[in-house]
Amino acid sequence: MDFPMENVTILDHPLIQHKISILRDKNTGTNEFRALVEEIAMLMGYEALRDLPLKEVEVETPLETCMTPVIAGKKLAVVPILRAGLGMTGGVLALVPSAKVGHIGLYRDEVTHEPHEYYCKLPSPIDQRTIVVTDPMLATGGSAVAAVDFIKAHGGKTIKFMSIIAAPEGLEKLHKAHPDIQIYIGHLDRQLDKNAYICPGLGDAGDRIFGTK
Ligand code: PRP
Ligand code: URA
């Protein structure tokens, strides 16, 4: 994989790196894990949304009237990939409370590692929105590619994909399938193991967020 890759940003801010290290620790419990996933999503969202367009509006301060910038143009939609992507939704909504939320339900077959769709609902019309897709893990990339395929098939155009940890295999697959979307990663890990888990990774993100096994 050649770096830097166009449209791929590794968000290596020290706060993000520190929080990811706590996520990796197998002794980090569900409460702390869930809170950290949300905090990391907020920090990543802060960077991923820095190109949101602004427009000037008139505001009356207690002293005088001034022109001042507010977010303009396209509205936002957050689209978590279920389940684990749900854990990141609150972090993005904390930044943009007016965002609409869509859901894409995908689970990975344990043997083939292929994604299977079980639920999809997007805010309509989706083509007018900037869409932030969230999933903490980008492993083989199958789920991410399927999610973005679905969003594009429903008219989505401006798409940002945020993942806390990626494997090189998954990042390459997503970038090749959808070179037009912006991809934001917290950390690029070494590789996938034979079960398509990210190494060193953090284990099963969904199970750790929701306390299931
Ligand atoms: C995990 C993760 C991603 C997917 C990544 O979900 O949250 O959606 O695996 O793997 P991939 O890149 O190889 O597709 P999982 O299928 O375990 O479902 P869950 O979130 O419901 O636990
Ligand atoms: N899904 C996860 O939750 N973790 C991995 O390492 C790979 C896929």
Q: Is 207 a catalytic residue?
A: yes
Q: Is 112 a catalytic residue?
A: yes
Catalytic residue, chosen from 25, 112, 127, 212, is: 112
What is the average pLDDT value for the chain, to the nearest integer? 96
The residue whose CA has the least distance to atom 7 of ligand 2 is 197
Closest CA to 48 of 188, 187, 183, 189: 183
pLDDT of residue 141: 97
Please give the C-alpha separations between residue 204 and each of 49, 66, 182, 198, 199, in angstroms, as whole numbers: 27, 50, 25, 9, 11
Q: Is 204 a catalytic residue?
A: yes
Cα 202 to ligand 2 centre (Å): 8
CA 68 to chain centre: 30
Summarised one tens digit per residue, pLDDT across range 88-113 is 999 999 999 999 999 999 998 989 99
pLDDT of residue 95: 96
Are the C-beta atoms of 82 and 128 separated by less than 8 Å? Answer: no
Question: Is 80 exceeded by the pLDDT of residue 73?
Answer: no
pLDDT of residue 103: 98
Tell me if 81 CB under 6 Å of ligand 1.
yes
pLDDT of residue 4: 75
pLDDT of residue 42: 98
Tell me if 204 CB under 6 Å of ligand 2.
yes
Summarised one tens digit per residue, pLDDT across range 125-135 is 999 999 999 99
pLDDT of residue 74: 73
Q: What is the mean pLDDT of the segment spanning 178-207?
A: 98
Please give the C-alpha separations between residue 47 and each of 20, 40, 43, 50, 167, in angstroms, as whole numbers: 16, 11, 7, 5, 21
Q: Supply 19's token pair.
A: 């929080």
pLDDT of residue 1: 73
Please give the C-alpha separations between residue 199 and each of 15, 138, 183, in angstroms, as whole numbers: 21, 12, 20
Q: Is 61 a catalytic residue?
A: no
**Strand duo 191-192 + 198-199: pairing:** antiparallel
Tell me if 205 CB under 6 Å of ligand 1.
yes
